[in-house]
Structure 1
Amino acid sequence: MARPRPGRRERGVRRQVAARPCRARAGRPRRHRLRARPAACRPPRSRCRLPPGHAALPGRLKAARVGAETSWLAARCAVGRFDVVHHAGGVVPPLAPARRVLTVHDTQPLDLPENFSATKRCWLGAMLPWSARRAEVVVSSTAWVLESVVARCGTDPARTAQVPPCFAPPPLPPSVEAVAATKARYGIGGPFVVHPAITYAHKNHLVLLDAVGRVPGLHVVLTGGAAGNEAAVARRAGEPDLAGRVHRLGRVPRADLDALLSGAVALAFPSRYEGFGVPVLEAMALGCPVVAADATALPEVVGGAGLLVGPDDVLGWADALAGLAVDPASRQRLAATGRARAASFDPRRTAGALAEAYHRAAGDAPSTEGRTR
């Protein structure tokens, strides 16, 4: 089931499924049919046929979606006699037939419950561990998340599998003219770093602002929506040491964000908690040097192609950003290693890992009629 306006995670899962080739493993003549069950929209195009089934649900009515998962979806899966059902939202519905593959993006409901409403906190706090123990295979994009699932949910490590994200870099980087025009349109002068993140406390905007305050002449561009820490970020941005150097842009078009990353001294990503951290790869693909927090899954994603700083080390962040601002050779080196790192997230890796997870969940039993959702 997919929302009419999917978020970043849902788009990532769609790309994973679209990357999966419909072919048998060597020596095992098997035929798989994939069926997507979106709520009110078509699935992505892929090399597999994905005929949609529809559940007409309001995109923002969460209770209706949860109810549909436990009723409509279960009924459709039972009628379809699927061998494997892939639940991509971190929860297995109570009435889920067939064998189950479960995607867990992170264990944030257990690690940072304060980020969720009371209702969602109670629901996910109970359902995430239960689902992770019930699924035949639990998949995630990073080893860090899988280790967390094992530790927090009691999942058998033998029933976990890492499926890297299907990352698609932009076909062409923004031109020099596009970068200059974007900077002018947003009133950005001088060297700048970019932090693309909603203002949740764990995204760590305040540490970044404290660090930039220690680097004279350096600007910081903050994109992303508003959340619980928005007022605190606004107050800190208005203090004298940052006067005129903080550009709070909110949500910006994808083309503008690409242009900003292409023209930045660095992506500054001090988040204390990430199950993956797609902005890191997006920056690397555009040749933007990356400075990220040495925390949770980020070191695994950076993979030696960027700088790592403790998430709450203000002086460390100031030193790293100040150094890159005056050292074009270091920026060029990180740009080159970052592009190579982003290119390593090949859709073929995703396809192979996801296909293997489906085979494991199905028990790899001979079949000519099996279908995977």
Structure 2
Amino acid sequence: MSRPLKIVARVHAMPPEHNAGAEHMLVSMLRPLVERGHDVSVSLSQHGAAREVYEYRGVRVVPLEARIDFAATVRQADIVLSHLECVPSSASLARGFGRPLVVVGHNTHRPTFRDMAAGGTSLAVYNSLWMEREAELFFSEYPKSIRPARSLVVRPPVFASDYATKRGDAVTLVNCSREKGGELLEVLARHMPDQQFLAVEGAYGEQLLPDLPNVEIVEHVDGRDMAARVYGRTKVLLMPSSYESWGRVGVEALASGIPVVAHPTPGLCESLGEAGIYADRNDADGWQALLERLLKDPAEYRLASKRARARSAELDPTADLDAWCDTVEEVAGA
């Protein structure tokens, strides 16, 4: 049994106000550290609706206004975590106080890897094997002295029991930005007027929300409510994203045996595997043909649903999270 650690994460936003894959991945990674008896808190770097400390799924969240002396928090911590735009400032403070820094990567964009290389990163976490390969290629151009000391792959943890529900009848897109496929959703809804569609507002990006009688707009949903408000009403999930480093929403849908039709980004191909049904996001006719086959052929749908459940079982996060907790404790010297 390791000694209890004081772990602090610095991020820009958190649920329930901001619900995106990166934030829910972080929550899923922090919860098992709390369960191991460690003191875990998340300090927010940006102004939000919350003014007082609150708890989200067992993780303590400290709004920006609730504590202004974040430097003191870092000085008292055993280890510092960060992701996305908060990495540079967190790295500076961690380095200044001599604390190990853990950086969680959510994409393969060059700034993500540059931040990992610039801050004396003790542990780099990648959300997929393809991200790990991209990072290795990027860091090959840098001296070993500034590369992350060690790395670990933690696939965005999704426990099927948190999302499994009875399926509905709608075709659903979560986050209706242009990059996620909002324009394609409207095209499909216009071409399939007898089919019900759900357009779920996302946490970021300009939302392209169709004003059509067969499209229901669902306001931004807290991750804890996705099973009841989204997946319980969904028969097929659409993921025509131009970029996904992994695609957590798709994995959540698999837990209920919901087939996922996706654009074949490297991340989605890795996360969905053989359960994914792939089509190019620029081929609207192809998407419509696949949807109609799934919706009108019960045997085809049963097979796709069976593959979805099988892939969900393969992605059980227990082993990844055990390795994650063990590595954090080692890095912190617990």
Q: Same fold (TM over 0.5)?
A: yes
Q: Which residue of 1 aligns with 2:75?
A: 75
Distance 1:200 1:93 in 2: 31
Residues 50-92 of structure 1: per-residue CA shift (max 9 Å, x gap):
9x7x966327xxxx88x83xx2333223xxxx3xx24132414
Q: Which residue of 2 aligns with 1:27?
A: none
Distance 1:336 1:37 in 2: 39
Q: Which residue of 2 aligns with 1:193?
A: 171
- The answer to whether the 8 Å contact 2:91/2:121 transfers is no
1:102 aligns with 2:103: yes
2:42 to 38, 44, 57: 38
- The alpha-carbon distance between structure 1 residues 165 and 175, as it changes in their structure 2 partners (threshold 3 A), is closer
1:284-299 matches, within 5 Å, as: 284-299=254-269
Higher relative contact order by CA 8 Å / sep ≥ 6: 1 or 2?
A: 1
Q: Secondary structure at the match of 1:95?
A: helix
Distance 1:360 1:315 in 2: 52
Higher strand fraction: Structure 1 or Structure 2? 2
TM-score by length of 1: 0.67
1:346 aligns with 2:316: yes
Distance 1:56 1:226 in 2: 18
Which protein is bigger by CA-based radius of gyration? 1
- The alpha-carbon distance between structure 1 residues 333 and 251, as it changes in their structure 2 partners (threshold 3 A), is same
Paired AA for residue 191 in structure 2 = R
Q: Which residue of 1 aligns with 2:197?
A: 220
1:168-187 matches, within 5 Å, as: 168-170=159-161, 173-174=164-165
Structure 1: state its 5+ residue gaps: 24-32, 111-124, 180-190, 363-369
- The answer to whether the 8 Å contact 1:265/1:324 transfers is no
Distance 1:226 1:359 in 2: 32
Compute the displacement of 1:174 (Å).
4.4
- RMSD (Å) for aligned C-alpha atoms: 3.5
1:84-233 matches, within 5 Å, as: 85-90=79-84, 91=87, 92-96=90-94, 97-107=98-108, 110=110, 125=111, 129-133=114-118, 134-151=120-137, 159-170=150-161, 173-174=164-165, 192-197=170-175, 199-215=176-192, 217-225=194-202, 228-230=205-207, 233=208
Distance 1:136 1:259 in 2: 39
1:335 aligns with 2:321: no
Q: Which residue of 1 aligns with 2:293?
A: 323
- Percent identity of the aligned residues? 21
Paired AA for residue 287 in structure 1 = G
Distance 1:261 1:56 in 2: 30
Distance 1:226 1:136 in 2: 30
Q: Secondary structure at the match of 1:351?
A: helix
Q: Which residue of 1 aligns with 2:216?
A: 247
Paired AA for residue 328 in structure 1 = P
Count of residue pairs brought into register by the alignment: 298
Compute the displacement of 1:263 (Å).
4.3
Distance 2:63 2:234 in 1: 43
- The answer to whether the 8 Å contact 1:140/1:163 transfers is yes
